[in-house]
Amino acid sequence: MKPSSSSRKRVAAAAAAGTLAAGVLLGVPTQAAPAPPSPAASALTAPPSPEVAERLVDLLGDRAPGMYLDDDGEFVVTVTDDTAAQQVSAQGVQAKRVHRDAKQLRDIRATLKEMGIPGTSWWVDPVANQVALGYDTTVTDGELETLQNVTDAADGALRLEAMNGDLSALAMGGEAIYSSDFRCSLGFNVTNSDRSAFFSLTAGHCTDGSLARWYTDLPDPSDPDKNLLGLDLDSSFPGDDYGLIWTGSEAQDWGMVTLGDGNVRPIYDHGEAYVGQSVEQYGSTSGLLSGEVTQVDATAVYRGEDGEDDVVEGLIGTDICSQKGDSGGPLFAGNTALGMTSGGVILCLFPTDSWSFYQPIGEVLDEYGVELY
Is the CB of residue 168 less than 8 Å from the CB of residue 303?
Answer: yes
Is the CB of residue 329 less than 8 Å from the CB of residue 340?
Answer: yes
d(CA 166, CA 289): 20
**Which has the closest alpha carbon to 206: 227, 226, 184?**
184
* One-letter amino acid of 298: A
User: 241 an active-site residue?
Assistant: yes
Q: Residue 253 class from Cβ within 10 Å (0-12 exposed, 13-18 middle, 19+ buried)?
A: middle
**Which has the closest alpha carbon to 208: 115, 308, 116?**
308
Catalytic member of 121, 168, 205, 342: 205
Asked if the bond preceding 34 is cis, omega within 30° of 0, the reply is: no
- Indicate the Cα dihedral angle 214, 218, 222, 223, nearest 10°: -50
User: 270 an active-site residue?
Assistant: no
d(CA 125, CA 56): 18
Is the CB of residue 69 less than 8 Å from the CB of residue 274?
Answer: yes
Mapping DSSP to helix (H, G, I), strand (E, B) and coil, where does residue 8 land? helix
Is the CB of residue 351 less than 8 Å from the CB of residue 318?
Answer: no
d(CA 8, CA 342): 23
Catalytic member of 101, 136, 208, 241: 241
H-helix or E-strand spanning residue 202: strand 198-202
Q: Which residues contact 245 (CB under 8 A, 6 or more apart)?
A: 199, 200, 201, 202, 207, 214, 229, 230, 231, 232, 233
Radius of gyration of the chain (CA): 21
User: 101 an active-site residue?
Assistant: no
Catalytic member of 249, 284, 327, 342: 327
- Which active-site residues does the annotation give? 205, 241, 327
